Chain A
């Protein structure tokens, strides 16, 4: 079975602070994919990044960066110099063969509140 844990229910920061959202996963698959999605107050989930299990290279996209560590089964997301527009719920997800028809397993989400 697959499992994704986002232990942080809510994080509150002040604008320009750096913030890291944690994601820990469990799977018995050797090939799997990890995702991050953003859900702003409007409600629509927006895909941010996909990472496969064979690529542990960290990725940076502007103020966003992702740290994938297979040894600790973690795929953490860092926002540098946070802005009010970053306020949203962020979901981590895992997809692999043991999930059944490759249906992704989502974490429960972390609500990020960035205060001006």
Chain B
């Protein structure tokens, strides 16, 4: 069966510090991978998605970047965090090919920038 891992689970970082959040998927190959942010108020904001190694699409220009160094690894980074980067970060995967594929989400990372 497939599983998705995210770490760390919680993180408190000062403004201006770097960030690295990691997501890995097990039990599947060539997944689509996604990073979402959920700020207070519940809405899900798609940040990045990837359809393959080294292929990253950015949905919202901002202080963050993403990389996919391996097929089942997706990393979210920032060189200098802003207060507005606080939120709940969710990684997700889906099987490729078409619109019918549901997404499976990781447990999330709760980031507080102080």
Contacts and interface: CB of A to CB of B under 8 A. Distances in A.
Interface of A: 31-33, 35, 37, 42-47, 50, 52, 89, 91, 95-97, 99, 101-104, 106, 108-109, 111
Contacts of A52: 100
Contact of A45 (B46, B51, B90): B90
Contacts, number: 56
Give the size range of B's interface with the partner.
20 to 34
Given A106-B43, A106-B44, A108-B43, A43 B102 contact: no
A44 B99 contact: no
Contacts of B7: none
Contacts of B104: 47
Interface in B60-105: 88, 90, 92, 98-105
Interface string B17-57: 00000000000000000000000011110100101000001
A42 B108 CA distance: 9
Contact of A46 (B43, B51, B57, B105): B105
17 contacts: A33-B99, A35-B102, A37-B105, A43-B108, A44-B90, A44-B106, A44-B107, A45-B105, A47-B102, A52-B100, A91-B44, A95-B100, A97-B99, A99-B99, A102-B98, A102-B99, A102-B101
